[in-house]
């Protein structure tokens, strides 16, 4: 989604704007731009494509200024073009925006009637003219912004500069995230802590309805009631270094290889020193929970779907699962004494936030699992359990997913322990299996070269199927999603047992069918499905342990070996091989693995 940055200080801030925009690249974008005040004039540079294009444009036509704003745009209203790229400007004001102005058509109509001329198709440009109109009435920049905001419906984070007030940078937030930082005579605003990472050690997260006025040495925040307020200062846990990808070729690859350490840290954060689950970190009385509702989007939702199997099998708690974009509008009846678990890497996904709000209004207790600690979802939850994955930059989620699974399994075990539905032995065995996961994942990653060879064989496929049973069915969904998003090969995840009810008609000698078949209680069932596919000349890629390989490899065109492990941790282990398969397929097709086309990292609009 769009990323915004702004800076004001005692030095030329243009290089800082460019650096910060580079750090925002991970959010996904199609054009970029900056604006700055130079000698009572607003100067802009905007380009379509990568930040390097913008840097080249600045190199040939430099700008120096003490106050400016920058933007990476992920197109919503109007195609990617220079005219639609931010910052948008009039001759008195320039601004950058993340979010959507829902009443932009009627505002545009009224402004055009007043004689304002639009040069873009965007919703954002209406706000430029609204503020300009308020300034014409003789208002200060701050009052002009506040009065313009009153006319807006929708979501926004803004950074705004003024031709005639080179000592002022204004920010405003409603629905979209906005963070503020300060360092060495400069003050910054940005979409997230990553944008500010090289610049500041401390970060303030604005609340909805806040307007902030920034000067070289001061930060003044007005809340939704127009009262001056202080907002809590947080350590910026993201350092400049932690957002580099060295020595890996891509962030996605680095993040796949970081999974052992990320899982290990997340596991340790929920354990006591004497190897028990740290119940103090999970303040839920599970015996009083009548039902769990799990809400999330995309990959995070598949983590939720895996946990449905865990909560039901281990703790005997009924679970309802839904994708947040559907849940938010279906007026679901919710159980009394229900717990809603919300899962989100970014903590800012608009659909997830809206679904969570509905659940809250229905009297549900909200437990969230987030990777970005001070995100909107975290701030609006009753209980927050962080995943300790560190910054995830690759658009395709990997380590956030496996750490979400780790937390969810720990919650299910804690619930089972609380409700006496698990034996002490079974509990200790599963905890030991989670503790062994980092080593097993490292072993699974040793297969990367042979997975690369399989990728070479399937890279030209038009379509692929992923099959799994039980808690590996959501992993089939996730494997298919990973392949779709970065290799652009159509793929579908399916419960293996459903094949014969339709999809088997698709089987031919061209379509790869990735089958997840660990040697567990469902192995024989999945083996039958493999036989059915093989009998129709289907190209099976078997993903199994050594035992499964021995039994079934003759039916498969290729095999990926995964270490054997306790049944409960298999979803966390098996997904790693599928991440690597998608990675190599995408690379062999020449795709941009970290910034796949059309995708954004943090989806802050509906
Ligand atoms: C896929 C992916 C997305 C996200 C989804 C939710 O690789 O990353 O499907 O999982 O957009 O995002 P968060 O977890 O930030 O709420």
pLDDT at position 185, please?
85
Q: Give just the sign of the alpha carbon dihedral 25, 22, 123, 347.
A: positive
Ligand 1 centre from 169 Cα, in Å? Answer: 32
Whose tokens are 């969230």? That residue is: 368
pLDDT in tens, 585-597: 999 999 999 888 8
- Lowest-confidence pick of 87-96, 190-199, 281-290: 190-199
Whose tokens are 């698709």? That residue is: 506
pLDDT at position 243, please?
64
Residue 345 Cβ contacting ligand 1 at under 6 Å: yes
Whose tokens are 């069932």? That residue is: 525
Q: What is the largest CA-CA distance in the chain?
A: 81
Q: How far apart are CA 3 and CA 557, in angstroms?
A: 44
Which one of 298, 381, 395 would you pick to mutate in the ligand 1 pocket, going by the greatest count of ligand atoms within 8 A of its CB?
298
For residue 372, the ligand 1 atom closest to its alpha carbon is 15
pLDDT at position 242, please?
55
Q: Is residue 501 pLDDT above 70, yes or no? A: yes
**Strand ranges of the sheet holding 365-370, from the earlier edge strand across to the other edge:** 319-323, 291-296, 338-344, 365-370, 383-386
Q: Which residue has the higher pLDDT, 198 or 358?
A: 358
Q: Which residue has the higher pLDDT, 456 or 196?
A: 456
Q: How far apart are CA 461 and CA 200, in angstroms?
A: 47
pLDDT in tens, 510-543: 999 999 999 988 899 899 989 888 888 889 999 9
**Cross-strand bridge partners of residue 155:** 100
pLDDT at position 237, please?
64
pLDDT in tens, 239-283: 554 567 878 999 999 999 999 999 999 999 999 988 899 999 999
Residue whose CA is at the smallest distance from ligand 1 atom 11: 298
Residue 556 Cβ contacting ligand 1 at under 6 Å: no
What secondary structure letter does DSSP report for 206? P
Report the length, in residues, of the chain.
606
Where in the sequence numbering do the catalytic residues fall? 2, 601
Q: Give just the sign of the alpha carbon dihedral 548, 550, 554, 559.
A: positive
For every residue of 438-486, DSSP letters joined together read: HHHHHHHHTTHHHHHHHHHHHTT-SEEEEEE-GGGHHHHHHHHHHHHHH
Helix, strand, coil abundance in the chain, percent, nearest 5? 40, 25, 35
Ligand 1 centre from 604 Cα, in Å? Answer: 11
Q: Give just the sign of the alpha carbon dihedral 198, 200, 202, 203.
A: negative
For every residue of 535-576, DSSP letters joined together read: TTT-EEEEEE-HHHHHHHGGG-SEEEE-----GGGHHHHHHH
Q: How far apart are CA 160 and CA 140, in angstroms?
A: 13
Ligand 1 centre from 397 Cα, in Å? Answer: 6
Distances (CA, A) of 74 to 4, 462, 604: 11, 27, 11
Q: How far apart are CA 405 and CA 409, in angstroms?
A: 6
Helix, strand or coil for residue 251?
A: helix
Q: Is residue 604 pLDDT above 80, yes or no? A: no
Residues 6+ apart with CB under 8 A from 216: 8, 9, 10, 66, 167, 185, 186, 187
């Amino acid at each position: 989604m769009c990323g915004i940055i702004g800076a004001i200080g005692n030095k030329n801030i243009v290089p800082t704007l460019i650096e910060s925009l580079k750090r925002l690249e991970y959010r996904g974008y199609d054009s970029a731009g900056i604006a700055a005040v130079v000698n009572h004039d607003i100067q802009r540079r905007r380009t379509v494509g990568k930040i390097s294009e913008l840097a080249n444009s600045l190199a040939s036509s430099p700008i120096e200024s003490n106050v400016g704003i920058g933007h990476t745009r992920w197109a919503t209203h109007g195609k990617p073009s220079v005219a639609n790229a931010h910052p948008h400007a009039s001759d008195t004001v320039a601004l950058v925006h993340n979010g959507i102005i829902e009443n932009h058509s009627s505002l545009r109509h009224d402004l055009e009637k007043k004689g304002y001329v639009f040069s873009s198709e965007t919703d954002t440009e209406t706000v430029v003219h609204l503020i300009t109109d308020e300034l014409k009435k003789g208002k200060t920049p701050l009052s002009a912004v506040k009065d313009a905001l009153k006319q807006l419906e929708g979501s926004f984070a803004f950074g705004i500069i003024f031709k005639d007030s080179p000592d002022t940078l204004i920010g405003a937030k409603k629905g979209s995230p906005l963070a503020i930082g300060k360092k060495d005579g400069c003050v910054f605003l940005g979409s997230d802590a990553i944008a500010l990472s090289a610049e500041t050690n401390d970060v303030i997260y604005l609340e909805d309805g806040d307007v902030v006025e920034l000067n070289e040495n001061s930060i003044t925040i007005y809340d939704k009631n127009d009262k001056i307020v202080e907002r809590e200062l947080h350590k910026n846990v993201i350092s400049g270094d932690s957002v580099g990808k060295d020595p890996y070729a891509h962030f996605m690859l680095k993040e796949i290889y970081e999974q052992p350490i990320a899982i290990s840290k997340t596991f340790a954060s929920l354990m006591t020193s004497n190897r028990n689950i740290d119940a103090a970190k999970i303040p839920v009385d599970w015996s009083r929970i009548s039902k769990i509702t799990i809400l999330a989007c995309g990959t995070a939702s598949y983590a939720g779907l895996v946990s449905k199997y865990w909560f039901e099998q281990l703790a005997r708690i009924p679970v309802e699962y839904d994708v947040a974009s559907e849940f938010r509008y279906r007026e679901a009846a919710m159980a009394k004494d229900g717990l809603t678990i919300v899962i989100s890497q970014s903590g800012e996904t608009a659909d997830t936030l809206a679904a969570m709000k509905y659940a809250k209004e229905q009297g549900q207790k909200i437990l969230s699992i987030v990777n970005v600690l001070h995100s909107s979802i975290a701030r609006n939850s009753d209980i927050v359990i962080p995943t300790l994955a560190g910054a995830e930059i690759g658009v395709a989620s990997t380590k956030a997913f496996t750490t979400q699974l780790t937390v969810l399994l720990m919650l299910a075990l804690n619930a089972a322990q609380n409700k006496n539905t698990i034996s002490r032995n079974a509990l200790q065995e599963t905890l030991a299996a989670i503790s062994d996961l980092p080593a097993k994942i490292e072993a699974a990653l040793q297969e990367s070269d042979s997975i690369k060879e399989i990728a070479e064989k399937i890279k030209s496929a038009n379509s692929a199927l992923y099959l799994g049973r039980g808690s590996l069915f959501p992993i089939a969904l996730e494997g298919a999603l990973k392949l779709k998003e970065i290799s652009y090969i159509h793929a579908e995840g399916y419960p293996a047992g459903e094949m014969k009810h339709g999809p088997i008609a698709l089987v031919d000698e061209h379509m790869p069918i990735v089958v997840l078949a660990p040697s567990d209680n469902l192995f024989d069932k999945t083996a039958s499905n493999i036989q059915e596919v093989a009998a129709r000349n289907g190209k099976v890629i078997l993903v199994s342990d050594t035992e499964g390989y021995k039994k079934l490899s003759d039916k498969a065109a290729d095999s990926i070996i995964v270490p054997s492990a306790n049944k409960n941790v298999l979803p966390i282990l098996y997904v790693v091989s599928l991440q690597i398969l998608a990675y190599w397929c995408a690379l062999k097709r020449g795709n941009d693995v970290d910034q796949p086309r059309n995708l954004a990292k943090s989806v802050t609009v509906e």
